[in-house]
Structures are given as C-alpha cells and as structure tokens.
Amino acid sequence: MGKEKNPRRVADNEAMAKLRMLRTSPQKLNLVAQMIRGKKVEKALTDLTFSNKRIAADVKKCLQSAIANAENNHNLDVDELVVAEAWVGKNLTMKRGRPRARGRFGKILKPFAEITIKVRQVEEQA
C-alpha cells in the first residue's frame, strides 16, 4: 500500500555524493574538482590529502561519502572505483560591505558553491 520505490538517478555501477554550501567560489572549487576527475579513488584521495588548497579537505570528505555510498548502498567494489564525474555549481552569495572614502560603499561578495562527485565501478583490464 506504500509508495513505489524511486528510480535510481545513476546507473547500477555508479554512486554519488553531493556537498552543498561550501564557503568558496565555484571557480576555486572547480580547480580542485579538476584535479580528481577520471582518477582512481585511491589516487584521488591521496591527491586531495596532500593538496595545498584549503577546500581540498571538504572535497575529500565528499569523495569519501561517495565511496561509502558505493560500498554500503550499492554493493560496489571499492578497489575498482573511478571518479567518473565531479562537477561544481553556484550556491548563494552573501552580500557584505565596507565603508569607503567620500561616503561610498565597497561591496564585498562572499560566494558559496556546491560539488557533486559521481564514482563508477570499472573492471580492470588484464
């Protein structure tokens, strides 16, 4: 009598995780996302661990969440996972300001971004 199960948004060999309200600009976040696209998850985690970018720690958390989703929810093998897609979107922008000379007002924009990471299980070639 209950509702029907929602169809999956991703393929059977994929899992994803999304992280919203990251306090950085989408342009800066995309540089970190670019670093991990197409790599095996172990290599991507290593790259994020040793990255000098501040936001890399949050992206690493999102990637670990996607890996956990793949393992626990979809029964995928962690050793065969690859970062299939990683895309960045804009979120809200806080408007702040600062008084400037001659009665003017300097606009300060504090942007937020979001990242979505999709991992895919691929069989290794022999």
At 25-49, the pLDDT tens digits run 999 999 999 999 999 999 999 999 9
Which domain covers residue 43, as residue numbers?
14-121
Cα gap 121→14, rounded to integer Å? 6
Is the pLDDT at 101 greater than 90, yes or no?
yes
Burial class (CB in 10 A: 0-12, 13-18, 19+), 74: middle
Instruction: Judge whether 113 lies within some domain.
Output: yes
Three-state DSSP class for 101?
A: helix
Total tally of structural domains belonging to the chain: 1
- Is residue 8 in some structural domain? no
Question: What tokens does 126 get?
Answer: 């022999």
Strand partners, 100: none
Q: Could you tell me if residue 72 is inside a domain?
A: yes
Whether residue 116 is contained in a domain is answered as yes
At residue 126 the predicted structure's pLDDT band, cuts being 50, 70 and 90, is low
> For all residues of the chain together, what is the average pLDDT?
95
Query: Is the pLDDT reported for residue 1 higher than 80?
Result: no
Answer yes or no: is 65 within a domain: yes
Kindly state whether residue 3 falls inside one of the protein's structural domains.
no
By the 10 Å C-beta count (0-12 exposed, 13-18 middle, 19+ buried), 2 is classed as exposed
Is residue 5 domain-resident? no
Domain membership flag for residue 9: no
At residue 9 the predicted structure's pLDDT band, cuts being 50, 70 and 90, is: confident
pLDDT at res. 69: 95
Report field, pTM of the whole predicted structure over 0.85: yes
